[in-house]
């Protein structure tokens, strides 16, 4: 993996929110995998390393209005989400970034009401361009849907994408490795949390 310039690199956490990966998740199987595998802790470590290195950090959160206005209904996933006991309602604890991830004052939190990807459902793309970002490091959940969508959208928009393979997860656990090997590795640079944190700790 080439050296990443902190000035033109951003770290994105995807759906690392209480209602998805927290103790009261709407998706307990995914939340358990994110925590038990160490994925959430590694995302937090990457966020800390990015803060220390001057890498811009962004957190993408999926949420719904209480009335559901503007939310997708054109797929089984969206319809099921509206019936879950834990809903990702705007302003609720469910849409806060989950511990142990630290949100710094300079971080940007992007909230989306629709779609499968923060790149398509928020102002992520223009914000990255305004910040002069050319490389996007994608972390979080899930490798089933949101992560591949984010990676493909970013590549289509011209960004270089880096995926730390141990800082994304989905269910079942074995599926993540297959997605990385057969899809993400074809379009993104695959690395590890250790490689990135080590690089960002080096003197500039």
Contact 161/138 with Cβ under 8 angstroms? yes
CA 139/CA 130 separation, integer angstroms: 21
Helix/strand/coil for 57: strand
User: pLDDT class for 51, splitting at 50, 70, 90?
Assistant: very high
Q: Is the model more confident about 45 or about 26?
A: 45
What would the pLDDT profile of 99-116 be if each residue is shown by its tens digit?
999 999 999 999 999 989
Chain CA centroid to CA 201, Å: 22
The pTM for the full model equals 0.94
Contact 4/135 with Cβ under 8 angstroms? yes
pLDDT of residue 24: 84
Q: What DSSP designation does 7 have? A: G
Q: Does residue 157 have a pLDDT over 70?
A: yes
């Amino acid at each position: 993996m080439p050296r990443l310039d902190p000035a033109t690199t951003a770290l994105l956490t995807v759906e690392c929110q209480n209602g998805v990966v927290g103790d009261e998740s709407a998706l307990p199987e995914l939340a358990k995998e994110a925590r038990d595998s160490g994925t959430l802790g590694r995302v937090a470590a990457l966020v800390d390393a990015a803060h220390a290195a001057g890498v811009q950090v962004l957190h993408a959160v999926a949420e719904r209005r209480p009335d559901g206005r503007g939310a997708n209904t054109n797929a089984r996933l969206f319809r099921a989400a509206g019936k879950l006991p834990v809903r990702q309602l705007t302003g609720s604890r469910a849409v806060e970034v989950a511990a142990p991830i630290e949100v710094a004052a300079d971080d940007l939190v992007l909230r989306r009401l629709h779609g499968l990807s923060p790149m398509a459902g928020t102002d992520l793309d223009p914000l990255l361009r305004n910040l002069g970002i050319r490389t996007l490091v994608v972390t979080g959940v899930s490798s089933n849907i949101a992560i591949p969508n984010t990676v493909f959208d970013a590549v289509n928009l011209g960004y270089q994408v880096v995926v730390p393979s141990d800082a994304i997860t989905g269910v079942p656990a074995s599926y993540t490795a297959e997605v990385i090997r057969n899809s993400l590795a074809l379009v993104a640079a695959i690395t590890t949390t250790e490689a990135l944190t080590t690089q960002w700790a080096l003197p500039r």
